[in-house]
Amino acid sequence: MIENAIFKALADPTRCAIFEKLATGSMNASALREGMTISQPAMSQHLSVLKSAKLVREERQGRFVNYEVDPEGLALIAGWLAKYRAYWPARIDALKALLKEMDQ
Amino acid sequence: MIENAIFKALADPTRCAIFEKLATGSMNASALREGMTISQPAMSQHLSVLKSAKLVREERQGRFVNYEVDPEGLALIAGWLAKYRAYWPARIDALKALLKEMDQ
DNA sequence: ACGACACATAAGCATACACTTATCTGATTC
DNA sequence: GAATCAGATAAGTGTATGCTTATGTGTCGT
pLDDT tens figures, A44-74 = 999 999 999 999 999 999 899 999 999 999 9
Instruction: State how far the Cα of B59 lies from the Cα of B24, in Å rounded to an integer.
Output: 17
The answer to whether B47 and B57 are in contact (CB under 8 A) is no
- Percentage of residues of chain B with pLDDT beyond 70: 85
Average pLDDT over residues B51-56: 97
Name chain A contacts of B57, Cβ cutoff 8 Å.
none
pLDDT-based confidence at B45, cuts 50/70/90?
very high
Give me the amino acid identity at B7: F
* B interface with A, Cβ–Cβ below 8 Å: 1, 3-4, 7-8, 10-11, 13, 16, 23, 69, 71-72, 74-79, 81-89, 92-95, 97-99, 101-102
* A interface with B, Cβ–Cβ below 8 Å: 1, 3-4, 7-8, 10-11, 13, 16, 23, 69, 71-72, 74-79, 81-89, 92-95, 97-99, 101-102
Q: How far is the CA of A27 from the C1' of D30 (A)?
A: 27
B97 pLDDT above the threshold of 70: no
Average pLDDT over residues B23-51: 96
**Local structure of B76: helix, strand or coil:** helix
**Mean pLDDT over the full length of chain B:** 87
Give chain A's residues under pLDDT 50.
91-92, 99, 101-104
What CA–CA distances, in Å, run from B77 to A1, A28, A79, B10?
18, 27, 12, 11
B102 pLDDT above the threshold of 90: no
Q: How far is the CA of A14 from the C1' of D18 (A)?
A: 10
